[in-house]
Structure 1
Amino acid sequence: MSGRRVFVSGVGGELGTLVARMLEDEPWVGSLAGIDADPPRRRLQRTTYHRLSPDNHDQIVATITDFNPHVLVHVGVWEPDARASPKAAGVLTEQAATSILGAAAECRALESIVVRSGIEIYGRGKGSLTRPAENAPIRPTSEYGHTLADIEAIATSVANRAGVTVGAVRLASVFGPHVPSPLGRLLRMPAVPFSAPADPPFAVIEHNDAARAVVAAARNQLAEPVNVVASGAITALHAIRRGRRIPVPIFGSQWLLARRLSHMLGAPIPAHVAETLTRGRLADNGRMEELLGITAAVSTVEVIDHLYNWPSVVRRPALVPAAQQIGATA
């Protein structure tokens, strides 16, 4: 399997950059290339980066078909209110999936497709303690869940047409120091809302564990979905107390006002995050080791503790007023 050409979409994001860096250390990887609208977040040693916008369909197709990868790793997914509004995130994700996965069907050397998905694909579930396995029905109940379901459907269609394997890495909410996460951003606010009638549990995944899972899926040529979730669970109130934030109990229809106020304060609560806070978000990760050969190194509670230990932006006033600086240099 040595000398495989691997193409990574979304290489400019924190997760995509981590995936590319880990792939550079894989002995089976030969040539490595990536694409994104933004440059990689860290220095990459042997990854050829192509800066292309998701709407540049023709250039994306030409770039991928010229590279003719053996393995396509598609992590170019925009989570609503992470780096873009829900509407923009949906459009960008759809454009990227259509161009990148469509181009893969034209690559003669292609052997395997790996796509980033998420446990939001299962929807709200029937109870806060529901842990759907990979064979559970796909019933998304949020815009993000529908987007992930569409990505998996497109990838499956392309893989069937090209006669290659396809694997979906269904991630829990990804937390990391430089990962734009609407749930993580909300939990770091000074005052955090939680569902007072029923404070349901949820699970997350640390960014390095998420990247390790994607790389393992590419290495093993994953041919089915797999849930990638850290062990254990936590509730919003438990997380708030661990982070020494102010808990704000919310009842029923008060969530509409809470979401509007949180958006004004810089921490939007998109529909899938609202579901997590009010209905919980768990999944069965029992097949991670079987399918990927790895387990999550960091538990959900440890991920939350790390979240609150990350440095915050501290704004300090200038020692010399701007007007005086301009006058001194005039």
Structure 2
Amino acid sequence: MAGRRVFISGVGGELGTQVACLLEAEDWVGPVAGIDADPPRARFRRTTYHRIHPDEHDRIVATVTDFDPHVLVHVGVWEPHSRASPRDAARLTDRAATSILGAAAECRSLEHVVVRSGIEIYGRGRGALTRPDEDADLRPTSGWGRTVADIERTATDVARRVGVTVAPIRLASVIGPHVPSPLGRVLRLPAVPFDLLADPSFAVVHQDDAARAIAAAARAGLAEPVNVVANDSITARQTAARGRRLPVPTLGPQWAAVRGACHLAGAPIPDHVHESLTRGRLADNGRMRDLLGFAPSRTTADVIGDLYGWPSVVRVAAARQVA
């Protein structure tokens, strides 16, 4: 298996950069290449980076097919209100997936596809399981949930058509010191809203563990979905107490005003985050150790504790004024 060519979409983002660095250290990995609209967040040792926007369909197809990967790792997705508005995030994600996965289908050497997905794919509608496993029905009830469902569907169709395996990695909300997480931004506000009637539990995953899971799926040639979720859970009110924030009890109609205020404060609440705060977001991670061979290094409580330990942005005045 040595010398396998690996192509990574979204290699410029925090998660994609970390996945590339992990794969560079793998004995089975040969040449590595990747694309993104933004430059990588670290210096690569042997990954070739191509700066290509998702709208440049022909360049994407040519770059992927010329490289002819054995393994495609597709993490080039935009979570709503992470780096783009919900509308732009859905558009960019769809264009990237269509171009990259479509190009991969034309690669003769392709053997395996890993795609980033999310536990939002299960939805939180009436009758939904509180802690779904990978066999649960897929009934997304948010824009982000429908987006990752579309990615999985496209990847599965491509894999079936060309006879390769596909591994959807269903991540909980990814939080880390450099991840543009809409949930993380809300929880870092001086005042944190929580649902007065429910205050349900949710789980997250640290960016290090998310990257390790994706790299492990590529190494193992995983051929089925897996939930990647940190152990234990927490509520919005508990996070506020842990971070010494002001907890703001919120009832149904009041959420519209709260979401507007959070938007003005620089922490917009997309519908999947609102869903997590009002209905909870958990998933069964029982298969993770068996399928990927690792357990998360941090619990949900650890990740939230780290969230409040990161320094805030401090504006430093210039030493002297310049024209």
User: TM-score, with normalisation over the residues of structure 1?
Assistant: 0.96
**Equivalence for 2:26:** 26
**Equivalence for 2:52:** 52
Aligned positions, number: 323
Instruction: Work out the CA distance in 2 between the residues paired with 1:149 and 1:241.
Output: 34
What CA RMSD, in Å, does the superposition of the two structures yield over aligned residues? 1.2
Which letter maps to 1:69?
P
Identical amino acids, percent of aligned pairs = 67
Structure 1 residues 7-54: Cα deviation after superposition (integer angstroms, max 9, x where no partner): 000000000000000000000000100100001001111000000000
Structure 1 residues 162-210: Cα deviation after superposition (integer angstroms, max 9, x where no partner): 1000010000000000000000011001111111111000000000000
Which letter maps to 1:140?
P
Structure 1 residues 217-247: Cα deviation after superposition (integer angstroms, max 9, x where no partner): 0001110100000000000000110000111
**Equivalence for 2:69:** 69
**Equivalence for 1:111:** 111
Equivalent residues of 1:170, 1:228 under 8 A apart: yes
Which letter maps to 1:17?
T
Instruction: Work out the CA distance in 1 between the residues paired with 2:244 and 2:80.
Output: 27
User: TM-score, with normalisation over the residues of structure 2?
Assistant: 0.98
DSSP-derived class of the 1:248 partner: strand
DSSP-derived class of the 1:259 partner: helix
**Equivalence for 2:254:** 254
Instruction: Work out the CA distance in 1 between the residues paired with 2:207 and 2:313.
Output: 20
Deviation for aligned residue 1:75: 0.2
Which letter maps to 1:217?
A
Structure 1 residues 280-323: Cα deviation after superposition (integer angstroms, max 9, x where no partner): 00000000011111111100000000000011101234454x4x
Gaps of 5+ in 1: none
DSSP-derived class of the 2:88 partner: helix
Deviation for aligned residue 1:125: 4.8
Equivalent residues of 1:200, 1:278 under 8 A apart: yes
Instruction: Work out the CA distance in 1 between the residues paired with 2:123 and 2:24.
Output: 35
Equivalent residues of 1:4, 1:71 under 8 A apart: yes
Note if 1:11 corresponds to 2:11: yes
Deviation for aligned residue 1:129: 7.6
Instruction: Work out the CA distance in 2 between the residues paired with 1:158 and 1:144.
Output: 21
Equivalent residues of 1:119, 1:227 under 8 A apart: yes
Which letter maps to 2:179?
V
Equivalent residues of 2:204, 2:230 under 8 A apart: yes
Distance 1:178 1:121, change over 3 A: same
Distance 1:84 1:105, change over 3 A: same
Gaps of 5+ in 2: none
Deviation for aligned residue 1:128: 9.2
- Over alpha carbons, which structure has the higher Rg? 1
**Equivalence for 2:132:** 132
Note if 1:274 corresponds to 2:274: yes
Instruction: Work out the CA distance in 1 between the residues paired with 2:315 and 2:53.
Output: 33
Instruction: Work out the CA distance in 1 between the residues paired with 2:194 and 2:127.
Output: 17
Structure 1 residues 46-80: Cα deviation after superposition (integer angstroms, max 9, x where no partner): 00000000010011000000000000000001000
Tell which deviates more after alignment, 117-126 or 74-83: 117-126
Instruction: Work out the CA distance in 2 between the residues paired with 1:127 and 1:141.
Output: 12
Task: State how 1:179-328 maps to structure 2 within 5 Å.
Answer: 179-318=179-318, 320=320, 322=321, 325-326=322-323
Equivalent residues of 2:125, 2:141 under 8 A apart: no
Note if 1:169 corresponds to 2:200: no
Instruction: Work out the CA distance in 1 between the residues paired with 2:162 and 2:51.
Output: 26
Structure 1 residues 132-170: Cα deviation after superposition (integer angstroms, max 9, x where no partner): 000100000000000000000000000011100001000
Instruction: Work out the CA distance in 1 between the residues paired with 2:89 and 2:130.
Output: 28
**Equivalence for 1:97:** 97
Instruction: Work out the CA distance in 1 between the residues paired with 2:184 and 2:123.
Output: 20
